[in-house]
Chains A and B, each alone.
Chain A
């Protein structure tokens, strides 16, 4: 029996309810993410992917419906620091060095200084920026900043990772490297991942399930299971991988044309 990490039940989100600028962002979303799954949300811009992720993170409340994380309310899970999050924008603090940015969640969780410094060093190795620990974020390129933000979200090994287009600003090779690292971490640590992307190959490569969303109002149009076995360079050239890419593309096309 697998347990459910995230349970979204008939959730709707309406921004500016009752006003002239009302937006029906999400409509009756049902989604269950099992422990250890890697779920990707994909869909046209504005279909509510970020909103759904923020509902799971309890950073915004649903207008209707309920979100549970690890068997408790999403709000309780937030207070218990059950998840790590990487946002669409890096959101680093300019007044902290790169190292100190990665240490921030660890500080808030009461890690000792020695442990924090060691962990930040490991994370910088992971995102291939070992020599930039002492720099300030404004001295880094956009893609480098994004990598620091990813390192920060992974630093405390949360059981649930919520990632909003984390690799969007990266060049192709770094992106593939980060994908492989993320897959490795996911496989090694039994982390559950909910991942937003615009890239079809990325969705196919990373996920165990791809959730295709349609816009206005945001709904789940289809769910595609992906089973490509152990990922690696060979996967990217595997005919089964290309079949999945095609399947996702067709699902997206169906959504766009409605």
Chain B
């Protein structure tokens, strides 16, 4: 019976913690009732979501589209670049310094410039920001996983006279999987931040970014928080999906397996 309690305890702990924080938040505002304070209580935020369901839902859908497309394109480009870089020396000499210097650029700061390039109301600029922001962590981590292979494993493949492509398929790519998924999980939250902040500067007007700035401008803070909540939910869903994908792709991985054992 002990393990049942432990299991319940494990999965309930974050829920209990979250509810406790919300309760303290709600109560603190109720008791102190600060004048003109811009933090609405959770109940009001939930209320705002339901009152503006159509607007919040549409905005979440539009921003969600930018996040998902940007994420997919950014991840695919990064993985492609990582494969190129580890396979061809010249590609490495061209792409790696480029990617590193690109990473030093504060990319969010480019949002207004991207808007000028793609058109002020085009979602393309927002997508581009997401793509660029997601690229770097995935590229760096995947490259690391493709190159940091145990030397004896490479020598073993060499002793079988395996070709470069075969070594990639049998050793480098499986070895890179845990690195890739770590980066993918980081990227989900990066993509949400990138999309919403980019939307502050331009793109579609019926999206989460404008909903936040406009509501805040009209002192409708509960609505602004409702939009933030919607972004949080999108981030949570994407993170969970990435984790699920990880489990499916790497049934052998010890972290996944220990998970399963302790669950």
Q: Name the CB-closest residue of A to B249.
A: A95
B158-170 to A contact mask, C-beta < 8 Å, 1/0:
1111100010001
Complex Cα gap A109–B153 (Å): 18
Bin chain B's interface residue count: 20 to 34
Residues of A within 8 A of B159 (CB): 57, 59, 78, 83-85
Contact A93 B161, beta carbon cutoff 8 Å = no
A242 at interface by CB-CB < 8 Å: no
Complex Cα gap A54–B152 (Å): 11
Which of the residues A93, A109, A138 comes within 8 Å of B170, measured between beta carbons?
A: A93
A79 at interface by CB-CB < 8 Å: yes
Contact A93 B153, beta carbon cutoff 8 Å = yes
B190 at interface by CB-CB < 8 Å: no
Which of the residues A78, A88, A95 comes within 8 Å of B250, measured between beta carbons?
A: A95
CB interface residues, A 59-103, toward B, < 8 Å: 59, 78-81, 83-85, 87-89, 91, 93-96
Residues of A within 8 A of B58 (CB): none
Contact A59 B155, beta carbon cutoff 8 Å = yes
Residues of A within 8 A of B250 (CB): 95
CB interface residues, B 123-176, toward A, < 8 Å: 150, 152-153, 155-156, 158-162, 166, 170-171, 174
Which of the residues A59, A80, A93, A138 comes within 8 Å of B158, measured between beta carbons?
A: A59
Q: Name the CB-closest residue of B to A88.
A: B152
Offer 5 A-B interface pairs, CB within 8 angstroms, sorted by A.
A85-B155, A91-B152, A93-B170, A95-B174, A104-B170
Chain A: residues with CB nearer than 8 A to chain B? Answer: 54, 57, 59, 78-81, 83-85, 87-89, 91, 93-96, 104-105, 108-109, 136, 138
Other A-B contacts than A54-B155, A59-B159, A81-B160, 19 sampled, CB-CB below 8 A, are A57-B155, A59-B158, A80-B161, A83-B159, A84-B159, A85-B156, A87-B152, A87-B155, A88-B152, A91-B150, A91-B155, A93-B153, A94-B252, A94-B253, A95-B177, A96-B252, A104-B170, A108-B162, A138-B252
Chain B: residues with CB nearer than 8 A to chain A? Answer: 150, 152-153, 155-156, 158-162, 166, 170-171, 174, 177, 250, 252-254, 257
